[in-house]
Structures are given as C-alpha cells and as structure tokens.
Amino acid sequence: MLLYPNAKINLGLNVIRKRSDGYHDIETLFYPVPDLCDILEIVHADAFRMQVYGAQVEGENLCERAWKLMHDRFGIPPVAIHLYKKIPMGAGLGGGSSDAAFTLKGLNTFFKIDLPDEELCALAATLGSDCAFFIFNRPMLARGRGEILTPLDFTLGDHVLRIYPQEEFVSTREAYASLTPREPVRHIDSIVKLPVAAWRGLLVNDFEETVFARHPRLAEVRDALYAGGALYAAMSGSGSALYAIY
C-alpha cells in the first residue's frame, strides 16, 4: 500500500491558555496542502520494521507509535513501513502528524478493520495534537489542544507561496517557552470570512512574536513577502515555514 501524507498550514493561531495537563488550549484553522507530501509504504512483514529515507527523524517515529496503537487495540500483525520524508521538519507544516494519521488510515484499510473516521480521529488524537486533523484532511477550525475539530466550508482560491528557510529550525518546545497565552480579540472563523486583503493585522499567529525575536530572519522574509505584493503573509504553526497569499 502506497500513501501520500500531505502537509498543512495554519491560518491564524491563537494560544489561549495553559491547561492543567501541560498542553495549551489553542484556536487555529488547519488547511491542507495537497502538493507537498511525504511518501509512505506499508507492506506485510514477519516482524515490525521501519525505514526512513530523506530527512531523519529523531527518537521513535510517530508511524511506529501508530502501528503499536493498532496492534495493541486490534491485534494486527507486523508490517514494514518505508517513509520518504519530503515535508521539512521543524517547519510547522505537520509532516510527522500527517505521517502518523495516514499510517492509521492505511492500516485501517490494509487490514480491513473498517473503523469510521470519527474513531480514527480519536485514536489519532492520542498520538499528537494535530494528528486528528489529517484523518479528515479538509479545512478545519481546531480548538482544545487541536483535536476539537469543526469543518469549515472554506477554500483558498488565491495563489499560495510557501517558503522554508532551511537554515532556521524552530522546535515547538522553544516556541512555547516564552509565549504568554491570551484570549483572542477576534475569533478566526469570523476573520476568514473577510476578504484576504483584510486579514493583515487581524489574523495573527501568536508564535510570531517570540519566534521572530529569536529568529529575526523569519520576520525579514515575511516583510519581504508583503513588500512583494502578498495580500497576506504569516508563519505556519510554530515555524519556521512561512506562506503568502496573492
């Protein structure tokens, strides 16, 4: 079985409060990026094994955790997973979460478990805060720690340019370290109903303030995108990828 886990961008990201479980309550609009994908292959094997090509992943890969979850819940046999990484890591594009969610979806089909998306979504949420989004893989307003999802009838009809400065790596832990949670002045679902040209100054990513202070080059790139005629430009997630809408 061959799958193509795609990236996402965040349209706005409000970090609202820190929770008692150590996570944060957020609000964001997850938007799929279908033309930027990893390549994931699942085949039968005598023992579980995983091979990653391209960028290497430190520690236990989320795909392995996804297989262990399905193995423990449903007794599925071992598989070999081959993952070719094309989505940059440390970029706020959700590559690892997408890989995990697509592994769950792939194993569900491969072994004919036939779980509905809602149950796969609940399993995905145990693997990572934005994993659940990739089960549905359509524009979703996300709340809670990212797992409370509401579909939005929303399409970016304009041209979207993505930039990943390879010399800049931002860890999610670093991005949260000096951030002060706050209630949003205006909620994202109301802002995106406005013309894209009106988003600047309203649709904010709370991570930009702290990440740009540590990585001023990213702020320079965003400003250059605006200078080049972008209607809206922002950092995706906790960075370091940026995007611009024209």
**What CATH number has the domain bearing residue 144?**
3.30.230.10
Domain count, the chain: 2
| Mean pLDDT to the nearest integer, 36-45 | 97
Catalytic (active site) residue 38: no
**What's the confidence (pLDDT) of residue 23?**
82
The catalytically annotated residue of 38, 99, 130, 206 is: 130
Q: What is the CATH number of the domain that holds 190?
A: 3.30.70.890
Contact 38, 44 (CB under 8 A): no
Same domain, 22 and 111: yes
Q: What distances in angstroms separate CA 131 from CA 115, 127, 199, 232, one per listed residue?
A: 16, 7, 27, 26
**What's the confidence (pLDDT) of residue 169?**
73
Mean pLDDT of all residues in the chain? 92
Same domain, 20 and 127: yes
Is 23 exposed, middle or buried (CB count within 10 Å of its CB: 0-12, 13-18, 19+)? middle
Distance CA(69)–CA(73), nearest Å, equals 6
Distance CA(229)–CA(204), nearest Å, equals 19
Across the beta sheet with 24-37, what order do the strands follow? 6-18, 24-37, 140-143, 148-151
pLDDT in tens, 78-127: 999 999 999 988 789 999 999 999 999 999 999 999 999 999 999 999 99
| 60 has pLDDT over 70 | no
Same domain, 143 and 102: yes
Same domain, 134 and 188: no
Q: What distances in angstroms separate CA 128 from CA 41, 100, 102, 134, 184, one per listed residue?
A: 21, 9, 13, 11, 24
Contact 19, 135 (CB under 8 A): no
Q: What distances in angstroms separate CA 245 from CA 9, 94, 138, 157, 221, one per listed residue?
A: 12, 19, 18, 9, 14
Distance CA(35)–CA(41), nearest Å, equals 18
Catalytic (active site) residue 193: no
The catalytically annotated residue of 8, 85, 105, 206 is: 8
| Mean pLDDT to the nearest integer, 60-66 | 91
pLDDT in tens, 180-201: 899 998 999 999 999 999 999 9
Distance CA(188)–CA(97), nearest Å, equals 22
| Mean pLDDT to the nearest integer, 214-227 | 94
Contact 19, 66 (CB under 8 A): no
**Residue 243: closest CA among 187, 174, 226:** 226
Any bridge partners for residue 150, and if so which?
Answer: 141
Distance CA(199)–CA(218), nearest Å, equals 19
Same domain, 129 and 200: no
**What's the confidence (pLDDT) of residue 61?**
87
Same domain, 125 and 184: no
Domain containing 217 equals: 160-245
| Mean pLDDT to the nearest integer, 22-27 | 89
Same domain, 126 and 236: no
Same domain, 166 and 101: no
Same domain, 131 and 194: no
6's torsion region: left (phi>0), alpha (psi -120 to 50) or beta? beta
Q: How many CB atoms lie within 10 A of CB 175?
A: 24
